[in-house]
Chain A
Amino acid sequence: MKMKIFVPRDATAVAVGADEVVAAFAQIAAKRSLPIEIVRTGSRGLHWLEPMVEVATLKGRVAYGPVSSEDVASVFESMASNGPHALRLGVADEIPWLKRQTRLTFARCGVIDPRSLEDYRAHGGYKGLERALSLGSDAILTEVTASGLRGRGGAGFPTGIKWKTVAQAKADRKFIVCNADEGDSGTFADRMIMEGDPFLVIEGMTTAGITVGATKGYIYIRSEYPHAVAAMKAAIVAARRGGYLGDKIGGSTHSFDMEVRVGAGAYVCGEETSLLESLEGRRGLVRAKPPLPAHHGLFGKPTVINNVLSFAAIPFILAEGAKAYADFGMGRSRGTMPIQLAGNIRQGGLFETAFGVTLGELVDDIGGGTFTGRPVRAVQVGGPLGAYFPRALFDTPFDYEAFAARDGLIGHGGIVVFDDSVDMRKQARFAMEFCAVESCGKCTPCRIGSTRGVETIEKIIRGERVSENLALVEDLCNTMKFGSLCALGGFTPYPVLSALKHFREDFAPAPTTLQAAE
C-alpha cells in the first residue's frame, strides 16, 4: 500500500523547515523505491511541534513532531514498520492539546489539502452555503443574529446586526469586504485559516453576499503574508471552476465573485475605514464615523466588512444551526474563539475554545509557561493595542466584557507571553513608538500624542522628574483615548496605562532617590 504522508504548508511550519522535510521524504522514498504520496495540509496549530508530520494508518493519522530533515530517515522507518520513535506522538486526533479544544472554525485546518475543493467538500465544506441558499436572506439573518456571533477582528460588534443593516440598504451595488490585514503581533489565526482552509473564508463571504445582495467581494490581505495570498488566490480560482464563485453559484440564481487585494505595510489599514480607503487606491486615512460602512462603505456603497474569523465562523453556524454555536461561550460572548498563544511560550500555537476559559489556564496550563523556563511576568492580550496583564489578573475569563471590566481587551485573541526579564518601561515606550510610526496622521491626539508619549517615557527612563512625567503620560493617554478617531490612537493607552498600573515598580525613580524620600 502506498504510504500517505501529510506535511503542513503553513508558513509557521515552512519557517521551521517543512519544505526541507518534504524533500527529505521524497528522497528517501525514491532511494528505498517505496511509493509515497505527500499531501501538503495547513497546520493543526501545535506550533512547538512543527514541522508536525502525519501518516495515514488504519487507526487514523499518526503524528510525529517536531521533525527535522535529519529525523526523516528514522521517522520513515517508524512509519513503514508502525514501530516506535522518540518523536512519535500517537494518533493526531487523540493528542490531549488538540482533544481538549472545541474546533468549530478550525475543524478542517491541518486536516485537509487547502488546494483541493473536493477535499473541502468531502469534509463538510459548502454545507452551510447549501442550507443558506435554501433559507433565503431573512432566515439567514435570523440564524446569524441568534448565533450571537460578534466581530472577531476585535471590536466585537454583532455580525447579524451589521449584515441586516446592509441587507436593508438600497443601492445599485453592495460589497463584501474581508479584513485580512492581521497586523497585531501575537495573532496568526487569520493567516492559518487562509493557508489551511481558504474555501471556508470564501464560503463565509459568499454567504454574506447572497444574504445582503452583494455580488462582489474583496479580501484585503497584508503583504507580510505571501503564503496566505497565494493560498487564497488558488482557492478562488478553484471555487470559480467548481461553480462556487461567479454566476449561478451552487446552481442557484445568485451571483458572487471575489478577488484578493494586497496591502502595502500599513498597520492602520487593519482599521476598517482605513482599509476601505486603501482598497479604493488611496492613502489609508481613517474616515470619521458616521456614516457607517454598512451605509456608505467601499466606493460609497453599502458594505459588509468583517474579519476573516467572522466570515470563517459563518459556515458552521448555517450548517449546524445557530444554537449549536451559541451553546458555547459565556455571557454575551457566544461560540468559540481561536486563541493564539505566542511570544515566550513553551507550547505556542492556536487553541480554539469556548469563551470563558481563564487567562491563567491559557498561559500556564495550555501554554505550559515560558520556553525560557523563567516565571511569566506579563502577558499582552489583544495585540499592540492590548493591555499588559500581570499574574494577579490571571483569573480573568476570556470574554469581551470581562476583559473590558479590567481595562483590557481580547482584540483578535492573541496572547503574547513575557518572562521576568521584561522591562515594562521599554514595552510602554514601544507602544507609543509603534503608534507614532503607524499613525495615519488624520487626528492630532494620535499623530502628535504618540510622539510626545515616546519623548515623555524616555524622560522617565532617564530618571528625569519621574513623578511629574508619569502624571503627564497618564494625562496624555486620556487625551488619546477619548480624542482619537480610531482604535490606533484610542487604544494605544491600553498597553501604556496597564504597564504603569500593574508594573509600577519598573517606573519608580532610581533606588537612591527612594531612600532619600523615606
Chain B
Amino acid sequence: MTTVYEPSYEPWDETRGAEIIAEHARQEGATLVILHALQEAFGYVPEAAIPMVAQTLNLSRAEVHGVFTFYHDFRHKPAGRHVLKLCRAEACQAAGGDALAARAEAKLGVSLGNTTADDRVTLEPIYCLGLCSTAPSAMLDGRLIGRLDEKRIDALVAEAQR
C-alpha cells in the first residue's frame, strides 16, 4: 500500500483553460472555485489564466490577482514532482515536530517552502492537518501520515526522492 502516488498534470493550454473557467463561471462567487479547478488541472495557476478569469467574471485583473496571491494554496509555478507537507502547528510542535522538520530539511537540503534543485521534492509547512492527537503529522502528495518519528520521516523523505 505504499505505492508512490504520482500526481499528473496537464501542460498549460489556453483552450483547455478557457473550458475550465467556463465550466465554473456561472456559480456565485466563482473566483476561488475556478482557481482551484485550474490548479487541479495544471498543478499551478498559470499567469496567462489570470486575465482570462478576470474577463469571464467581469472583474479587473488586479482583483483576480489579489485573490490569487491572498491564499497560500495557489501556486504561481509547478511544484516539485512530490509535495511533502509537514505540520508545523502547536500540537505537532508539542510532540517533537520541530526536530523532525529540521531533520527533513537537512536530508533534502532545502528549507521549508522550497523545492529541491532536481525538482523532485517540494517541502512545505502546513498549519494543521487536524491529526493533532496522533502528532506529529505529514502529508505526502495527498496521503496522510501520523505518529511521525525519525524512522518514519526518513522513510517519507526517501519515498519522496524516488
Contacts and interface: CB of A to CB of B under 8 A. Distances in A.
Interface in A179-207: 182-188, 191
Contacts of A348: 132-134
Given A188-B130, A348-B132, A265 B73 contact: yes
A166 interface: no
B91 interface: yes
Nearest to A299: B28
B115 interface: no
Interface in A396-446: 414, 416-419, 422, 427, 430, 434, 438, 440
A496 to B, nearest CB: 13
B136 to A, nearest CB: 10
B67 A283 contact: yes
A279 B29 contact: yes
A223 B62 CA distance: 24
Contacts of B29: 279-282, 299
A15 B89 contact: no
A340 B92 contact: no
Contact of B1 (A20, A185, A224): A20
Contacts of A341: 133
A266 interface: yes
B11 interface: no
B90 A224 contact: no
A184 B132 CA distance: 10
A341 B146 CA distance: 15
Given A185-B89, A344-B95, A12 B146 contact: yes
Interface in A27-61: 47-48, 50
B90 A380 contact: yes
B72 A342 contact: no
Contact of A343 (B74, B130, B132): B132
Interface string B135-154: 10100001011110000000
Nearest to A495: B90
A14 B142 CA distance: 12
Contacts of A23: 1
Interface residues of A, number: 63
A284 interface: yes
A390 B137 CA distance: 26
A491 interface: no
B33 A265 contact: no
A163 B36 CA distance: 32
B130 A11 contact: yes
Contact of B135 (A183, A283, A342, A419): A342
B128 interface: yes
Interface in A339-362: 340-345, 348-350
Contacts of B135: 342-344
A4 B22 CA distance: 46
Nearest to A43: B133
B71 A187 contact: no
A283 B129 contact: no
Q: Considering residues B71, B94, B128, which has the most beta carbons from chain A within 10 angstroms of its beta carbon? A: B94
Contacts of B49: none
Given A281-B67, A283-B66, A267 B137 contact: no
Contacts of A416: 90-91, 94, 132
A19 B90 contact: no
Interface string B109-143: 00000000000000000111111111101000010
B93 interface: yes
Contacts of A47: 133-134
B127 A183 contact: yes
Contacts of A427: 90, 93
A264 B36 contact: yes
Interface in B66-116: 66-67, 70-74, 89-96
A264 B35 CA distance: 10
B4 interface: no
A283 B70 contact: yes
B30 interface: yes
Interface in A238-268: 261-267
A247 B71 CA distance: 35
Contact of B134 (A12, A262, A384, A430): A12
Contacts of B90: 185-186, 343, 380, 384, 416, 427, 430
Nearest to B147: A16
A372 to B, nearest CB: 8
A69 B91 CA distance: 27
B132 A14 contact: no
Contacts of B93: 427, 430
A211 interface: no
Contact of B91 (A186, A263, A281): A186
A440 B67 CA distance: 12
A185 B91 contact: yes
A185 B92 contact: yes
Contact of B128 (A224, A226, A280, A281): A224
A50 to B, nearest CB: 7
B73 A264 contact: yes
Contact of B94 (A225, A280, A343): A343
Given A15-B137, A47-B133, A343 B71 contact: no
A441 to B, nearest CB: 9
Interface string A360-372: 0000000000010
A278 interface: yes
Contacts of A344: 94-96, 135
A480 B54 CA distance: 36
B132 A414 contact: yes
Nearest to A379: B94
Interface of B: 1, 28-33, 35-36, 57, 63, 66-67, 70-74, 89-96, 126-135, 137, 142, 144-147
7 contacts: A11-B130, A185-B127, A186-B89, A188-B130, A264-B71, A416-B90, A440-B70
Given A281-B67, A349-B133, 10 more contacts: A12-B146, A19-B1, A23-B1, A186-B132, A223-B73, A225-B130, A263-B32, A264-B71, A281-B33, A281-B57
